[in-house]
Amino acid sequence: MKPDTHPDYHPVVFRDASTGTQFLTRSTVHSDKTVDWSDGNTYPLVIVEVSSDSHPFWTGEQRLLDTAGRVEKFKRRYANGYR
Q: What does the pLDDT read at residue 45? A: 96
Q: What is the pTM of this model?
A: 0.65
pLDDT reading at 42 higher than 70? yes
Residue 57 CA to residue 9 CA, distance in Å, equals 29
Q: What does the pLDDT read at residue 66? A: 60
Q: What is the mean pLDDT of residues 65-71?
A: 67
CB 14 within 8 A of CB 25: yes
DSSP lists the bridge partners of residue 59 as none
Pairing verdict, β 10-16 and 42-48: parallel
Residue 36 CA to residue 34 CA, distance in Å, equals 7
Query: Which region, left, alpha or beta, applies to residue 67 given φ > 0 means left and ψ of -120 to 50 means alpha?
Result: alpha
Q: What does the pLDDT read at residue 51? A: 83
Residue 83: band (very low, low, confident or very high) from pLDDT cuts 50, 70, 90: low
